[in-house]
Amino acid sequence: MKPSFVISLTLCSISAAVGQEILSDPGTLGPALETIHLFYDQWLTGFTVSASGHIFVNYPPVFPNSINFTVGEIVNGREVPYPNLEINTPPGGRLNYSTNPPTSSNSEDHLIGVISVITDTEDRLWILDSGRVASTEGLAETAYGGPKLIGMHLTHNTIFKKILFDQTAVPADGYLNDVRIDLNPALTPSGQGVAYISDNSPEGRTAIVVVDLGSGAASRKLVGDPSISSHPGFVPFIWGEAVYSNSSSISHFSVGVDGIALSADGSTLYYCPAGGRSLYGIETKYLLDNSHNSDVLSRSQIQVLGDKGLSDGLETDSNNNIYGGNMEDNSIIKFNPKTGLVQPFVRDPRLSWTDTLSVATDGYLYFTENQLWRAPIYWGGIDRRVKPYAMFRVKLPDGGVKVSRPRRE
Ligand SMILES: *[C@@H]1O[C@H](CO)[C@@H](O)[C@H](O)[C@H]1NC(C)=O
Ligand SMILES: *[C@@H]1O[C@H](CO)[C@@H](O)[C@H](O)[C@H]1NC(C)=O
Ligand SMILES: *[C@@H]1O[C@H](CO)[C@@H](O)[C@H](O)[C@H]1NC(C)=O
């Protein structure tokens, strides 16, 4: 055959193929995203929307870059320190260089490294300070005074509660990550309700910390259980890329218990490690039990609820749907405990790391996209995050709103 004949035959078959419609991924699903805020400066994780529509945001210093404040509020489209700059500015800095290696600041009167903010069913703000700050050598350990839970009245922006965690509640290499509050007075003798906190210690000392909001007593539950630990060998695939922990050496993507969410009635805590794709649950009565065999009993009561994809935060609405990211599918899923089914709810190519989800009283699911997977620790020190980070919202299905769990006497 003459070469020219071969070429013309090939061109002919290419032009024939171009005209074909090949079935392909539609890429989107569910309600359209509304953009609420774009973040051009500090990197954020958590946020919450109050009943009157105030949006509070937190910026954890987990990568070695400086932040001016770790809790802020979005006011007229601008991010400003909340409740003020002073409480966000530990004297001497967030890191304490008088120790070697440096430790995180121990200032109990200041916010050190806030990782989560939420509003409770009485529209009060809870600020979870991990007390842990990154130095150039990695996450510095905490010192007593750093890890704490602060309750604030939003009417006068005053602190009504401060619970400091000692090292039996949270070891120096613990990392308090997310919190859920149940104000049901029947839960503890103090009658002031309970906080459930995920500890996803990167050093592997994971736990669910249960805190009596009245006495401040805290106990570590399910310590190191496989259900709250990163799954061995886990590799997320996001936007067509395999994500490894990539700094001085390469290792599997490893994050322990991260997302937690209470069922609408407070009777079950749902949770998931961010180093895996599974959803778990446990009835809260087992977490509240401090009897002699409670550790063994609680581990025997863990519900394995199946795969939902990789999520960071979890959230609940008044219809008792549980929402979480499914990062590898650019989507947010909805888990229905009644049917046991996980279904995609929203899908959009802008989704890649849905960090925090927050249901507001206005009937919307708000969520943040913060590109965590593109941070330097996953790419050999190269920061592949591209500002702005984003906060979106979508309308909840079936008239869902924020859970209201009135205090039961
Ligand atoms: C932080 O402070 C620096 C120096 O004053 C300023 O340039 C920067 O805009 C501030 N960032 C925020 C988020 O306020
Ligand atoms: C720094 O560490 C020293 C030694 O542990 C301690 O005495 C001091 O209170 C710490 N200061 C802060 C602000 O963390
Ligand atoms: C680790 O990071 C380096 C630098 O960004 C990159 O070239 C390499 O591909 C990364 N390795 C993996 C397995 O992600």
Concatenating the DSSP letter of every residue in 341-389 gives EEEEEEE-TT-S-EEEEEE-TTSEEEEEE--GGGSGGGTTT-----SPE
The answer, yes or no, to whether any atom of ligand 2 lies below 6 A from the CB of 101, is no
Look up residue 399 and give its DSSP letter.
G
The answer, yes or no, to whether any atom of ligand 1 lies below 6 A from the CB of 70, is no
Return the structure tokens found at 159.
């602190």
Cα(146) to ligand 2 centroid in Å equals 11
Q: What is the CA radius of gyration of the chain?
A: 23
Q: How far apart are CA 377 and CA 373, in angstroms?
A: 9
The answer, yes or no, to whether any atom of ligand 1 lies below 6 A from the CB of 65, is no
Residues of the chain with pLDDT under 70: 1-19, 406-409
- From the CA of 246, give the closest atom in ligand 3: 1
- Tens of pLDDT, residue by residue over 97-147, are 999 999 999 999 999 999 999 999 999 999 999 999 999 889 999 999 999
Residue of minimum CA distance from atom 13 in ligand 2: 105
- Residue 134 CB contacts under 8 Å (≥ 6 apart), including other chains: 61, 62, 63, 64, 140
> Model-level pTM?
0.94
Cα(78) to ligand 1 centroid in Å equals 12
- Residue 273 CB contacts under 8 Å (≥ 6 apart), including other chains: 200, 206, 227, 228, 229, 230, 231, 255, 256, 257, 258
The answer, yes or no, to whether any atom of ligand 3 lies below 6 A from the CB of 246, is yes
- From the CA of 143, give the closest atom in ligand 2: 14
Closest ligand, as measured to the CA of 97: 2
Say what the pLDDT of residue 66 is. 82
Q: Please check whether residue 401 is in contact with residue 358, taking contact to mean a CB–CB distance below 8 angstroms.
A: no
Sorted by where each starts, the structural domains of the chain and their CATH numbers stand as 35-399 (2.120.10.30)
Closest ligand, as measured to the CA of 70: 1
Say what the pLDDT of residue 11 is. 52
End-to-end C-alpha distance for the chain, whole angstroms: 91
Residue of minimum CA distance from atom 4 in ligand 3: 380
